[in-house]
Amino acid sequence: MPFTQAVPFIQLGFVIRDKEHVIRGGITAVIYCWKILYINVLWVDEQYRKHGYGAKLLAKIEHEACKQGCKLAHLDTFDFQAKDFYLRHGYEIFGQLDDCPLGHAKFFMKKVL
């Protein structure tokens, strides 16, 4: 299938800094080949969690992807990481890999943008 975007891979990334300009959270993603967003990493410093920073970063990257014509986003996460966070933000599970690592599960999630 031919690519639907001129540049096959468009890297995106945003950070949140505190008053001293120290990075306290960030997100990296790629828009690939057919205007599909893949979120690589979303991280917020532990002391800054539960303040909406993760939601702001996720919304910002999704907004930028939509501006570039994306209609689908996907990612993966573990049961001990952010599965519930993504579910609260409209992602749904489309696959699960059990015992990855042993005793845990890796979830594959998607969201229509």
**Domain ranges across the chain:** 9-112
Specify the pLDDT at position 41.
98
The number of CA neighbours under 13 Å toward the Cβ of 33 is: 3
Domain spanning 9-112: which superfamily?
Gcn5-related N-acetyltransferase (GNAT) (3.40.630.30)
| Of 38, 61, 55, nearest in space to 110 by CA | 38
The reported pLDDT for the residue numbered 8 is 95
Amino acid 1: pLDDT: 86
Q: Which stretches of the chain score pLDDT less than 50? A: none
If one counts every other C-beta atom within 10 angstroms of the C-beta of residue 70, the result is 21
Judging by beta carbons within 10 Å of its beta carbon (0-12, 13-18, 19+), is residue 54 exposed, middle or buried? buried
Helix (H) or strand (E) holding 43: strand 36-44
The pLDDT value given to residue 3: 95
The Cα–Cα gap between 87 and 50 comes to: 16
Determine contact, residues 36/69, Cβ cutoff 8 Å: no
